């Protein structure tokens, strides 16, 4: 998940994947987020 590296501040939020596909739904939708 490249998102973890780009947005490390989302880790303590406990919503890494959620915030990941929210910020980049078209790029990192393969991280386990909704299609």
* Within a domain: 35: no
Q: Which domain holds residue 16?
A: 2-30
What is the pLDDT at residue 6?
59
Give me the pLDDT at residue 28, please.
52
Whole-angstrom Cα distance, residue 6 to residue 15? 14
**Overall number of domains in the chain:** 1
pLDDT for res 16: 59
Tens digits of residue pLDDT in 1-35: 555 555 556 555 555 566 666 666 555 555 555 55
3-11, long-range: CB within 8 Å, 24+ apart, which pairs? 3/28, 3/31
Has this prediction a pTM greater than 0.75? no
**Residue 17: predicted pLDDT:** 62
């Amino acid at each position: 998940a490249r998102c973890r590296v780009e947005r490390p501040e989302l880790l303590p939020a406990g919503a890494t994947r959620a915030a990941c596909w929210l910020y980049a739904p078209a790029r990192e939708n393969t991280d386990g987020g909704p299609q």
